[in-house]
A and B are shown apart, each in its own frame.
Chain A
Amino acid sequence: MVMGWFAGDGDDFRLLGTRCSTCASVFFPREDVHCRHPGCAGGDLQEVALSRRGRIWSYTDSRYRPPSPYVTDSELPWEPYALIAVELESERMVVLGQAAPGVTVADLAVGMEVEVVPGVLHEDAETIWTTWHWRPTGVAV
């Protein structure tokens, strides 16, 4: 569904963005056409792995089933999931993502350290849609 946003397994899992070779701006989701810094003449946009860890900027959850195009099985009862916005220090940006399964808002606090882990967005008989999740560090897999 989205190509080249993340790669790797286990501890090597990383979000992938792009970086401008001229001004060093980082883009996620990846920007492959042009650098968006208005003062930059533009450079090559090279793929870069984002920091694995960051700190929680804010968080919330989704107590009601989101509408399409989010894919859910309407036969199953809705299970709320948490969403976490994470500040990445070296990229100086905030990236939103779902929390790992089992992590609720009661487990979270602004400023807490989290790390990116691979996750499953949705699966059916034919396809598994993979994604990234944020998980508090020090939590067992």
Chain B
Amino acid sequence: MTGDVAVLGAGMHPWGKWGRGFVEYGVAAARAALADAGLEWRQVGSIVGADTVRGGYPGYVAGATFAKALGWQGARVTSLYAACASGAQAISTARAQILSGLADVVLVVGADAAPKGFFRPAGGDRPDDPDWLRFRVLGATNPTYFGLYARRRMAVHGDTLEDFAQVKVKNAALGALNANARYRKPVTAQEVAASPVVADPLRLLDICATSDGGAALVLSSMEFARRHGVAEPVRVRAVSTVTPRYPNPVLDLPDIATDSAVAVKPAAETFRASIARTAYEEAGIGAEDLSLAEVYDLSTALELQWYEDLGLCGEGEGAKLLRDGETAPGGRIPVNMSGGLASFGEAVPAQAVAQVCEVTWQLRGQAGDRQVAGARVGITANQGLFGHGSAVIAVR
């Protein structure tokens, strides 16, 4: 057992295309989280920032950038990059500092001002970068991989385009209830079917957009929370940041090929499933204990994959779970009550933090019209480029 840390505060800057800098979003989210925690910035002993790209220059500065904008006050600082899992690593780092006694209160911030259209690698000829290679050699964008996964599910499990569309319908209806979401209009299956194909079989409304946005958390030791007058805080009980195991037989972003399974038999469990299992083991709970899940719906089809990887249902049964309404509000295990990335879009360093914000509000009973009644345990799941796992379990 590693012990709990308290979530004292959660905050966001609304997501969208605001045309401003990531520092502004991050600072707004940080101030919101501090206000939610009832703390002054000067009471924070450590700040952890999830990196973004500034003017084509890879971040590596996020923690200090936010600290400077909030006002230098001498806090310990960490900046880190783990692609889409950056937020989870920021939470993991904050938790490790708290549990080891290095810090009592840690501010975690992720924010981004994403470019329009497809994500693309930084400039220059860089054939030692697998992300650069997949674009240069194949023109393989992120939706290329989502299309491959979706087509594979159709062939192996019999998923249909209608199943995929219903994920969007569900998440858009929830996003319409969330003031922080970028897209706040319900979507019909007909609208999904009428949107243009981006990467066969997926259409524009099957794939999440890029967005600006920010999210922040104030984490503390349980003892600090009690001294601060919060006897029953939402607690982070597990943070999974595992890597894949060799050989990974699933073609993952941004790779051109899988590992070869000639020398070693692949594990029966996929990388994504191992991310969730590690979190369950660390928390000492199982999928059957969950009240809700926030998963990384980069595409509608990928959300169905996560149902199986989280153990919400058996392999190949994701579409059935959706059709049965089990992942919708009122179902056995509601998924993406925030509206998901379908409603938020991608703001890479912020999204894993934002998932935990949503779970926090749900566990506190503060999620308004999208509240899961009596929520007690929530999981977030995400996967970062280059083999970064990400899952957080929080409990009340």
The answer to whether B251 and A94 have CB atoms under 8 Å apart is: yes
Instruction: Say whether A59 faces chain B, with CB atoms less than 8 Å apart.
Output: yes
The answer to whether A28 and B257 have CB atoms under 8 Å apart is: yes
**B198: shortest Cβ distance to chain A, in Å?**
6
Assign chain B's interface to a size class: 35 or more
**B192: shortest Cβ distance to chain A, in Å?**
15
In Å, the complex CA distance between A29 and B197 comes to 30
The answer to whether A66 and B251 have CB atoms under 8 Å apart is: no
The answer to whether A37 and B246 have CB atoms under 8 Å apart is: yes
In Å, the complex CA distance between A63 and B201 comes to 11
Q: Digitize B205-224: 1 where CB-to-A-CB distance is under 8 Å, 0 elsewhere.
A: 00000000000000000000
Q: Given the known inter-chain contacts A37-B246, A110-B152, A110-B155, please indicate yes or no for A62 contacting B260, CB distance below 8 A.
A: no
Instruction: Say whether A46 faces chain B, with CB atoms less than 8 Å apart.
Output: no
Selected from B149, B201, B256, the residue in CB contact (under 8 A) with A96 is: B256
Residues of B near A23 (CB, < 8 A) are 263-264
Instruction: Say whether B196 faces chain A, with CB atoms less than 8 Å apart.
Output: yes
The answer to whether B139 and A93 have CB atoms under 8 Å apart is: no
The answer to whether B135 and A68 have CB atoms under 8 Å apart is: yes
The answer to whether A70 and B135 have CB atoms under 8 Å apart is: yes
Q: Give the secondary structure class of A's interface.
A: loop
CB-based nearest A residue for B145: A60
Q: Digitize B329-367: 1 where CB-to-A-CB distance is under 8 Å, 0 elsewhere.
A: 000000000000000000000000000000000000000
Which residues from 116 to 169 on chain B have a C-beta closer than 8 Å to any C-beta of chain A?
117-118, 120-121, 123, 125, 127, 132-141, 144, 147-152, 155-156
The answer to whether B148 and A63 have CB atoms under 8 Å apart is: no
Residues of A near B133 (CB, < 8 A) are 2, 29
In Å, the complex CA distance between A93 and B261 comes to 6
Instruction: Say whether A120 faces chain B, with CB atoms less than 8 Å apart.
Output: no
Selected from B135, B148, B155, B258, the residue in CB contact (under 8 A) with A69 is: B135
Q: Digitize B266-309: 1 where CB-to-A-CB distance is under 8 Å, 0 elsewhere.
A: 00000000000000000000000000000000000000000000
**A90: shortest Cβ distance to chain B, in Å?**
8
Selected from A24, A66, A105, the residue in CB contact (under 8 A) with B141 is: A66
Q: Given the known inter-chain contacts A26-B262, A40-B263, A60-B144, please indicate yes or no for A69 contacting B256, CB distance below 8 A.
A: no
Q: Digitize A54-73: 1 where CB-to-B-CB distance is under 8 Å, 0 elsewhere.
A: 00011111111011111110
The answer to whether A58 and B148 have CB atoms under 8 Å apart is: yes
CB-based nearest B residue for A28: B257
In Å, the complex CA distance between A93 and B196 comes to 32
Q: Give the secondary structure class of B's interface.
A: loop
Residues of B near A20 (CB, < 8 A) are 263
In Å, the complex CA distance between A2 and B256 comes to 13
Instruction: Say whether B249 faces chain A, with CB atoms less than 8 Å apart.
Output: yes
Q: Given the known inter-chain contacts A66-B141, A110-B155, please indicate yes or no for A95 contacting B257, CB distance below 8 A.
A: yes
A residues contacting the other copy or chain, number (CB 8 A): 49
CB-based nearest A residue for B202: A60
Residues of B near A71 (CB, < 8 A) are 136
The answer to whether B118 and A67 have CB atoms under 8 Å apart is: yes
The answer to whether B196 and A63 have CB atoms under 8 Å apart is: yes
The answer to whether B132 and A91 have CB atoms under 8 Å apart is: no
The answer to whether A25 and B147 have CB atoms under 8 Å apart is: no
CB-based nearest A residue for B119: A67
In Å, the complex CA distance between A25 and B246 comes to 11
Residues of A near B139 (CB, < 8 A) are 62, 66, 70, 72, 81, 98
The answer to whether A94 and B144 have CB atoms under 8 Å apart is: no
Instruction: Say whether A42 faces chain B, with CB atoms less than 8 Å apart.
Output: no
Q: Given the known inter-chain contacts A59-B151, A110-B155, please indicate yes or no for A94 contacting B137, CB distance below 8 A.
A: no
Instruction: Say whether B324 faces chain A, with CB atoms less than 8 Å apart.
Output: no
Q: Digitize B184-210: 1 where CB-to-A-CB distance is under 8 Å, 0 elsewhere.
A: 000000000000111111100000000
CB-based nearest A residue for B197: A63
The answer to whether B251 and A57 have CB atoms under 8 Å apart is: yes
Q: Which 8 A-B pairs have the closest CB atoms?
A: A60-B147, A110-B155, A66-B139, A92-B261, A70-B139, A67-B120, A58-B152, A26-B260
Ordered by A's residue number, 13 sampled pairs between the chains whose C-beta atoms are within 8 Å are A1-B127, A2-B133, A20-B263, A25-B259, A25-B264, A27-B260, A67-B117, A69-B120, A83-B148, A85-B148, A95-B257, A96-B257, A121-B137
Task: Give A residues with C-beta under 8 Å from B.
Answer: 1-2, 20, 23-29, 36-40, 57-64, 66-72, 81-83, 85, 90-98, 105, 109-111, 121, 131
- List 13 additional A-B contacts (Cβ < 8 Å) besides A1-B136, A58-B149, A92-B260: A25-B260, A57-B148, A60-B148, A60-B150, A62-B140, A63-B197, A66-B139, A68-B120, A83-B144, A91-B260, A93-B262, A95-B257, A121-B137
